[in-house]
Structures are given as structure tokens and as C-alpha cells.
Structure 1
Amino acid sequence: MTEEKSFVYILLTDTGTLFTSLIKRYTKAPYNHASISFNKELTDMYSFGRKKPNNPLTGGFVKEDVMTGTYSKFPETTCVIYQLEVTTRQVDKMRRVLDVFIRNGEKFIYNILGVLGVSINEPIEFSNSYFCSQFVAEILNRSGIRLWDKLPALITPEDFRQCKQLELIYEGNLFEFEPIKKHFH
């Protein structure tokens, strides 16, 4: 019996904010935020980022909403979207891992020191503390999906761009992505 195939989506974005501009100046990478979505319309999407769209200083685990969350404040957001073929069993595992984050959302904080750790190639990890690409890599890792030979605490959005297992399905303005346009208009 063959395992049923499914997809998850990795969204990398650049909102053009001061914070992301500072990160970009250092990383030289076009995108500096990573999210994971369980559907192509990006309505079932999660990451570590701003808890309040107008305040970059309050970060943590977030269910992202393209139309009402942080992205809604930045209509010029550019993005790249990849799909990753996975098994339904792997999706079930991801959902179970994600459920721990959802149930304990307030206990998780944004790992700003971890971002600095990446810059010196030294993983800086704290319990209940993640940055965006570390979180996405952690969800994949804990589900048996190993895309890199390094710790999630060293994974950057650029690592997703360089990953051969991910299939590019869109690059451009986030709000011009056809499944979003169809779903919200």
C-alpha cells in the first residue's frame, strides 16, 4: 500500500519594514521571514513573528493571517512560495507538533538571541523560544523531514531558498498570488 501524498507550503517574505531592512542589510538575502502553511491559500499558516501587527517588539508564536495580520499592514510585501511533497503521516506528525505550540502559544517567545547566533554560526537555543526559520525547520525535523545537515537553530530563510527538495510555485507580490486573490476577492 502506498502512502498518500500531500503538500505543505513554505512562504518566505519581505515586508520592507525597518526591522527587515536591517536584517537584509546584514544577511544580503532577499527574504527574511519564513512561515509554514498547510494549504495553498495560506489560511492555515504559522510562524514566529509579531504578535501585534503594529509592534515589532512583541514577538512569539503566531497563526498568521494574510488579510488581517501583519501582512495586511504591508501591501507591498514580496514573497516566494515553495511546496514540499510530504506524506499524510508526516502532515499528521506536523499537526501534532504544531498542536503543542497552539495549546501553549503564550509560553513561547521570539528567539532574538538565536538570530544573532546564526550570524556567528553558533546555535543559541532556549526552551520555548524560536525565530521564524528555526520554528519551520523544527516542525519539519520533528516530523521526520530532514532537509539539512544542521540544527534548526542555524536555519535561515535563505536555507529554504537553497533547498533542492522544495519546489518553487510563486515569486512576486504576496497579494498577487492567485490562490490568495481567489480566496479573498
Structure 2
Amino acid sequence: MCYVYIMLSDTGTLFTTMIKKYTKAPYNHASISFDPQLREMYSFGRKNPKNPLNGGFVKEDIWSGTFSRYPDTTCVIYKLKVSERQMSKMKRVLHVFIKNNDKFLYNILGVFGVSIKEPIEFSNSYFCSQFVAEILHRSGIKLWDKLPAMVTPDDFRNSGDLELIYEGRLFDFTPILEHKP
């Protein structure tokens, strides 16, 4: 068996604070990693840490990316046991995103769709939790009975299939500190 890691986070930015006021959920961003040290995470978010309006598919870097600008980021990290076949499928799906990085947009209307309980989907357009749910879904992993376009970060937090491994300040997560460049 293999593990995939899902991190939910709250940077405290204006955008995340607005979402948090509406959702009442402690975390509002979801990322996926195949590495227990979270050296490589993937999601949909800011392409440039200084510009919240330019979003899309991102490879997240804790030490030099958006997270580095918000040292008080809080997070919760889960692991999910998957088969080797599921892991292989996830990596193939992720490779399509990596290869076509510049063709993907942030699905801001999809975030609005979740709030009105109506999925709003566009090809090549995702929001963070939709992307993570899509990776799992395309790999045969079904955690919920809903479309990926309706999955929120809180759905991950409330899933009984995920095993909690850490909750607290992101920069206090020991495996990350041990591998700081």
C-alpha cells in the first residue's frame, strides 16, 4: 500500500478570511502531495504569491511560495492509504496537469457554485478542493457521493477515510523542518 497526503490550510489572507467567514470552516485551501515531507504539493491557487488575482494550477513550495509570505499559516495534514495502481493513476493524472500547466485557470465561479449548491464547471478550470477531489476521483477513489466540483476543504476534514497526522502551524510540522533547504 501507498499513501497520498492532503493538506488543508489557512494563510489568513483577505480572500481566505472572506471564505472562512462564509463557510465557518477552519481551513479553506486544499493541496495534494505524494511526499510525506510535503516538499512537492499541488493545487489551484495563486500563480504569483504577490498577486491574488492570477490563479491556476500551482506546484506549491512552502519555503519560497505563497506559504512563505504567511508564516502564521495553520494547517491540518492527512494521509490516505491507496493501492499502487491508484497511486500510479494519480501520478499520471497529475502529469497531465504539470505538462499543460499554462492551460489551466482558477475556477472562481466554481467556488461561488458551491455556495449556491450548484456545480459550475469549465474545462481546464478548477478550484483547490475540486482539483484534489478530481485527482482522487479519476484514480478510482470515491470519498463522497458528490461531484468534485462540489467538494470543499471541509469535506476532506470530515472524511472518515483520511488519517490525521498533524494539525497546527505549518512551519512547526517537524518533517518539513528536517528538510528545509
TM range (shorter): over 0.9
Deviations 1:9-67 (Å, cap 9, x if unpaired)? 00000000111000101110000000001011111210000000011100000000010
Within a 5 Å distance, the mapping from 1:145-160 to structure 2 comes to 145-160=141-156
Aligned amino acid, residue 121 of structure 2: E
Aligned amino acid, residue 151 of structure 2: I
Residue 85 (structure 2) aligns with: 89
Normalised by the length of structure 1, the TM-score is 0.97
Aligned length: 181
- In the TM superposition, residue 88 of structure 1 has moved relative to its aligned partner by 1.4
CA RMSD of aligned residues (A): 0.7
CA distance in 2, matches of 1:141, 1:105: 20
2:24 to 28, 43, 50: 28
SS of corresponding position for 1:58: strand
Task: Report percent identity of matched pairs.
Answer: 71
SS of corresponding position for 1:184: coil
CA distance in 2, matches of 1:97, 1:18: 31
SS of corresponding position for 1:71: helix
SS of corresponding position for 2:32: strand
Q: Which runs of 4+ in 1 moved over 6 A?
A: none
Residue 138 (structure 2) aligns with: 142
Within a 5 Å distance, the mapping from 1:6-155 to structure 2 comes to 6-155=2-151
- Structure 2 unaligned residues grouped into runs of 5+: none
Deviations 1:135-158 (Å, cap 9, x if unpaired)? 000000000000000000000000
SS of corresponding position for 2:179: helix
Aligned amino acid, residue 27 of structure 2: Y
Residue 182 (structure 1) aligns with: 178
SS of corresponding position for 1:12: strand
SS of corresponding position for 1:83: strand
- Structure 1 unaligned residues grouped into runs of 5+: none
